[in-house]
Structure 1
Amino acid sequence: MPPLDAIAKVESFIISIPRDVPYLGPLREGERINEKGYVIRKGNRSIYPTSDMSVLVKVTSESGKVGWGETYGIVAPQAVISIIDEVLGPVLIGRDPGDPVVLHEDLYDLMRVRGFFGGYYVDSLAGIDIAIWDLYGKCLNRPLSSLLGGTRHQTIPAYVSGLPKATLRERCDLAVEWIGKGYKAIKFAAAMSDDGIVKEMAALREAVGPEIDLMVDLHWKFTSGEAIRLIRRLEAHNLYFAEAPCEPEDIEGQEIVARGIGTPLALGEEWRTTYEYRPRFERRCMSIIQPEMGHTGVTEFLHIGRMAHAFHVDTIPHASIGIGIFMAASLQATAALKRVPYHEYQHSIFDKNLRYVTGDMGCANGAYTLPSGPGLGVEPHPDVFNYIRKA
C-alpha cells in the first residue's frame, strides 16, 4: 500500500518566551539567576529556566501538509534539538505518517541497546511522535482523539496548579480568587511553603472551605517515613492527593508511602514509558498517575493510560512548561481515556502562552475545552517564531 503522504522534512526550533515572574513564583532568599538564565529552587533543589522554554517540531509531508509537535525542552534544549536533527529526523524521510505507532517503535529501537530508553532521547521522540499524529489527523481530516479510539470527553475538569505569590496570605487570596472563577480543585507547591506545609494546607482549607479538592506537590523531598508522617497530618484537612513525596528512583519508598497513608498517592510526571510505570503498577505504588505529554508523546501516553485502566488507577495528566502544542495533544489523548477526574492547569503558563497558538483551545469555569479541527486542533501562531533561540 502506498504511503498516506510520505514525510519529506523534519525541523526543530528552540522557543524561549520571557516571563515577568519566574515559574513557581518570586525568587526566595539565596536564589539567583545564573548566566545561562536558570534558577535553582532551594525548596526542591531543582533547576528551572526563567523563561518559558520549549522545543517545537515541524514535520512536513510531500504534499506540503504540516504536523506540529512539542517536547520538554526547559533545560539544555540543545540536546533535544541535536537528537531530532541528527538521529530521528533523517530516519523518518519517506516514511508514512499513517503508521504513527510503527514509527514510534522503530525510532525507540534505534538507541535502546545503548541505554537511551529515557531522558533527552525519549523527550525528543515525544515531540516527533506528537507531530506525526498531528500530520496523520490532518491527512484524514480527523481530530486526534477520534484516531485514538473515540472522544469520550468534550470538556475535561481542570485543577489549578500553583499559587505563585510571595506570602501565605497572598496565596490564600489567590486560591479564593480561582474558586470564584468556577474551579473546584487547587494544588499548592510544598517547595514554596515557607511557613510550613501543614500550616499552608490548614490556611488554604480555611480559605476555600470544605468542598474544594486540595492537593499538594511534595517535589520528591522526603523519605518514606517522613512523607507518611507529613501526609497523615495533611489528611486532617481533607487532602485530595499527595504528589511525588519520595525521590523518583525510590520504588520501595513509593510503595511504602502508598500503603501507609489514607490519601491517594499521585506519581509519574517524570516517567516516560510503560517500562517505568509497570513495576509501580504491579507494586500498587500509586492511585493516580500523572503522565506528561512532553515526555511521553501520544503513543506512549495512550499505552500508559490503558495500562492504568487495567490496574484501576485514575489518570490526571501533568502539564509542564510549553506554548500549548503538547498541551493540545495531552487534552486530545486524555479525551479518549475513561478514568480522568482532572487535568492539571498550569495557569501561569497556559493563559500567558495561549496567544502563541491558533485554534479554540481554552480553560475557563473549571474545565478545559477540547480543541476542534483536524489533528491536534492547534498550530503555532506566527508570533511565536519571534522567540526562536539559537541552538
Structure 2
Amino acid sequence: MAAMTTDAIDHIETHIVTIKRDTPYLGPLGPGEAVNERGYFVRATNRTIYPTEDRSVLVKVVTRDGAVGWGETYGLTAPEVIGALIDDLILPLLRGRDPFDAGAIWEDLYDILRVRGYGGGFYLDAVAAVDIALWDICGKLAGRPVRKLLGGERRSEIPAYVSGLPRATLAERVDLAAAFVARGFEAIKFAAAVSHQGIEMELAALRDALGPDVKLMIDFHWMFGRGEAAALIRRLEPYGLHFAEAPVKPEDIEGLAHVARAVSVPVAGGEEWRSVYDAQPRLATGALSIVQPEMGHTGITQFMRIAQLAGAQHVATIPHATIGVGIFQAASLQASAAILDLPMHEYQHSIMDRNAALLDGTLRCEAGAYALPQGPGLGVEPAAALWRHARKIQG
C-alpha cells in the first residue's frame, strides 16, 4: 500500500498595497494636524499616527504542489517590517510544513519569540497574515469555504453596522447616517476622535435625526482616563448608546473594569489584541460585554480562539474591520459565519466599497448585511487590477 503523500509549504511572497484616498481615514484633518514628509499625521485627539493612504501587506503562500493561499495584515506604518519578519524568521521554519497544521504552526511561531517579548505588534501581525493564507489553502484543498472547516456555517449572511461618518461637518455626518438608514442599515458608529463639534452634541443630533430604533455606538479610540470616560458615558446614556468602544487606553485593564462598573452601557474592546492571551485578562475582569477581534491582527486561528473564550463567558463577538484590500475582511466574514453569538460585524464603507473592486470573488455589504464570500477557501483573491497598487518586497 502506497504511503499517503501530503502537500507542504514551499515559499512565501509579501507585497505592500497602497491605495490613494481623497479624505484621510476617519475624516478630514482636524485643528493642529498636519501631514509629515513620510505621509503620516497624528490625530491630536487620540494621539495615534495614521497614513493618508489605505495601505496593507498581502502575503502569498505557495505549496510544493502549487496550491496558493492569500493572507493580509496591517501595513499602516513601516510595512516593510512584515516582509522582513516573514523572510528572515517565519518562512525558514514553515518550509516543508503541512498547511493543515495551521493551529500548531501559530503556536510554534508564537513560542519562538515569547521570551524575547514579541507577543504582539508587527511580529504577530506577520503571523496573522500567514495564518490566514494557510486556512485559505486548507479550504481550497478541501474544496470548501473556510467557514465549513471552523465548525460549520451558522448564518448565510452577517448583519452589518456602518462604521464612521467621514464628513467635515456635523450636518454632513448626520445626512450621511440618514442615507445609510434609508438603505436598510440599522446600526451606526461614529468616531469620537473626529467629533470636533462635541461628542454629546453629535450623538444627540444623530438620535434626533434617526429616531429611537437605530442602534448608535461610539468608538472612543482610547482617548480618556477612567474617571473621565465613566462620567462622559453616563452623560450619554439618555441617548440610548448601544455600546461604548475602547473608552480607556488598552493597557489600563483595571480602568476598563472601572468604567464598566460605573455605567449601564455595554463596553466593547479588542481591536488591538493579537491573541487569546490579550483577551483572557480583560475578560477575567468582567469588564467587556462585547469582544472585537480584528482579523488583520489575529489571523483565523486566534480570532476563533478569542471568540470561543468570550462565548464561554457569555460575551458576544462583534468583529472589528479596518483598513485593507479585503483579504482579511473576507477571512473575518468566513470566521464570523461559524461563531455562535455574533450579533453583527463592522462595515468600513469608506474603505471596502472601493477596495473590494480589486478582488475576484464576492465581497459585498448592502441593505444592512454582508453576503458571505462563495467558493473554496476565503472565496476571494487579488484581481489583476490590484497589482497596479502593489509592490513586492520579499519572496
Relative to the length of structure 2, the TM-score reads 0.97
Distance 2:115 2:263 in 1: 39
Superposed CA offset, 1:340-359 (max 9, x none): 11100000001010111110
In the alignment, what sits opposite 1:266?
268
30 and 2 in structure 1: CA distance in 2 versus 1, 3 angstrom threshold = farther
In the alignment, what sits opposite 1:42?
44
Superposed CA offset, 1:80-125 (max 9, x none): 1110111112211111111111111111112112111111110000
**Of 378, 381, 384, the match for 1:379:** 381
Amino acid at match of 1:128: V
Distance 1:229 1:3 in 2: 62
In the alignment, what sits opposite 1:170?
172
In the alignment, what sits opposite 2:357?
355
**Of 108, 120, 131, the match for 1:106:** 108
Distance 1:138 1:109 in 2: 28
Task: Report runs of 4+ in structure 1 exceeding 3 Å deviation.
Answer: 1-4
**CA deviation after TM superposition for structure 1 residue 390, in Å:** 6.2
- What aligned pairs does 1:16-165 form with structure 2 within 5 A after superposition? 16-165=18-167
**Of 212, 215, 218, the match for 1:213:** 215
The secondary structure found in structure 1 opposite 2:222 is coil
In the alignment, what sits opposite 1:13?
15
In the alignment, what sits opposite 1:223?
225
Distance 1:275 1:113 in 2: 14
Amino acid at match of 2:176: L
Superposed CA offset, 1:317-336 (max 9, x none): 00010000000000000110
**CA deviation after TM superposition for structure 1 residue 206, in Å:** 0.4
Distance 1:230 1:222 in 2: 9
In the alignment, what sits opposite 1:283?
285
Distance 1:242 1:66 in 2: 40
Amino acid at match of 1:328: A
1:306 correspondence with 2:308: yes
The secondary structure found in structure 1 opposite 2:69 is strand
Superposed CA offset, 1:185-224 (max 9, x none): 0000011111111111000100111100000011111111
The secondary structure found in structure 2 opposite 1:285 is coil
Unpaired segments of 5 or more residues in structure 1?
none
Unpaired segments of 5 or more residues in structure 2?
none
The secondary structure found in structure 2 opposite 1:99 is helix
Distance 1:113 1:2 in 2: 37
Amino acid at match of 1:88: I
**CA deviation after TM superposition for structure 1 residue 3, in Å:** 5.4
Amino acid at match of 1:24: L
Distance 1:114 1:218 in 2: 32
Distance 2:371 2:356 in 1: 13
The secondary structure found in structure 2 opposite 1:164 is coil
**CA deviation after TM superposition for structure 1 residue 154, in Å:** 1.2
Amino acid at match of 2:243: F
CA contact 1:273–1:296 (8 Å) conserved in 2: yes
In the alignment, what sits opposite 1:187?
189
The secondary structure found in structure 1 opposite 2:239 is coil
Superposed CA offset, 1:131-173 (max 9, x none): 0000011111111000000010110000000000000001001
**CA deviation after TM superposition for structure 1 residue 29, in Å:** 2.6
Identity of aligned residues (%): 56
Amino acid at match of 1:204: L
Distance 1:41 1:283 in 2: 30
**CA deviation after TM superposition for structure 1 residue 271, in Å:** 0.9
Distance 2:187 2:319 in 1: 14
The secondary structure found in structure 1 opposite 2:323 is coil
**Of 378, 382, 388, the match for 2:390:** 388
The secondary structure found in structure 2 opposite 1:110 is helix
Distance 2:103 2:273 in 1: 19
Distance 2:136 2:106 in 1: 14
**CA deviation after TM superposition for structure 1 residue 5, in Å:** 1.4
**CA deviation after TM superposition for structure 1 residue 2, in Å:** 4.8
Amino acid at match of 1:306: Q
CA contact 1:361–1:372 (8 Å) conserved in 2: no
CA contact 2:9–2:99 (8 Å) conserved in 1: yes
Superposed CA offset, 1:231-290 (max 9, x none): 011111000000001011000100000111101000110011111111111111110000
**CA deviation after TM superposition for structure 1 residue 7, in Å:** 1.1
CA contact 2:13–2:392 (8 Å) conserved in 1: no
In the alignment, what sits opposite 1:242?
244
